[in-house]
Amino acid sequence: MIELVNQVFGSKNMTRYVMFPSFMYGAQRNVISNNFPFYNNLSIIDKRYFEHRVLKFIKSHNFIGRRGLEVTKKMEILIASTAVKLTFGMRSYQFSQFDNIVIYPKNYMSRVTKKRHFGETNPRLRTIVFAWDNFMEGVEVENNNLNLGLHELTHAMHFSFLRENSISSMLFLEHFKILLEQMKDVELQRKIVASGYLRSYAFKNKYEFLSVLVEHFFETPFEFNEKLPEVYEAVKLMLNLDLVKMYSKASA
């Protein structure tokens, strides 16, 4: 059956297979292609899967503007595309523990911490929050290892997987557990610090460590693999994506 699907649809990855993908219009597709090199490096069939997931993600979440911000279709597509990029190697991609995505124009005073934030993830309220100017900076600047969307969505994905009973969650959590065990190696710790590659915020706790790793993985995968190949390999297995291989093929 899998071989038959491969022949018909041209994709070997049943992780993303869907029988009747949702249709995306050209203007919507242009928003993605103009902002996400990841999407542009996909095969034609995987681009359709990506678009299908973006539309499903938008339909499954409430997008709410604050401080007079009007949420546009473009905003929804950019946020959903960031989420889909993050989870593209997995079968589960809907962030099951979160319903709401709140967007402020700029940094805001958190109702929870009473401090100013650029973004946050609140499982109790099933809400992910972004400051739009910082979110867009993460989309527009692709190689500085700072991406608010990826950072907060990684927190949301991790929390969702902790409460899901799925193959995607099981594999992700198991590989993350293995990585944390690897991190007990003093020599590896010294190597990471000496490389100067990860920003200091990564060492605040294991949750921030994970989100920072994901930012680096998507923004500078070749440098990541060169400087910290052991850690790159772990993140690759967690997300079931190999960006070095993917981008190398595209440039060949």
The span from the first CA to the last CA of the chain, in angstroms, equals 31
pLDDT (tens digit per residue) in 47-84: 999 999 999 999 999 999 999 999 999 999 999 999 99
19-23, 119-123, 195-199, 218-222, range with the lowest pLDDT: 19-23
CA torsion 82-86-90-93 (nearest 10°) is: -40
15-24, 89-98, 128-137, 210-219, range with the lowest pLDDT: 15-24
Angle at 22 between CA 20 and CA 23, to 5 degrees: 120
Q: How confident is the model at residue 6 (pLDDT cuts 50, 70, 90)?
A: very low
pLDDT (tens digit per residue) in 98-153: 999 999 999 988 877 788 889 999 999 999 999 999 999 999 999 999 999 999 99
> Which are the contacts of 134, defined by CB distance < 8 A and separation ≥ 6?
106, 107, 118, 119, 148
Between CA 186 and CA 203 the distance in angstroms is 14
Identify the pLDDT of residue 252.
63
Mean of pLDDT values over 21-33: 91
Domain boundaries, the chain: 2-251
pLDDT (tens digit per residue) in 164-182: 998 999 999 999 999 999 9
Q: What is the mean pLDDT of the chain?
A: 91
Q: How confident is the model at residue 7 (pLDDT cuts 50, 70, 90)?
A: very low
The CA distances from residue 214 to 18, 87, 144, 180, in Å, are 26, 11, 13, 15
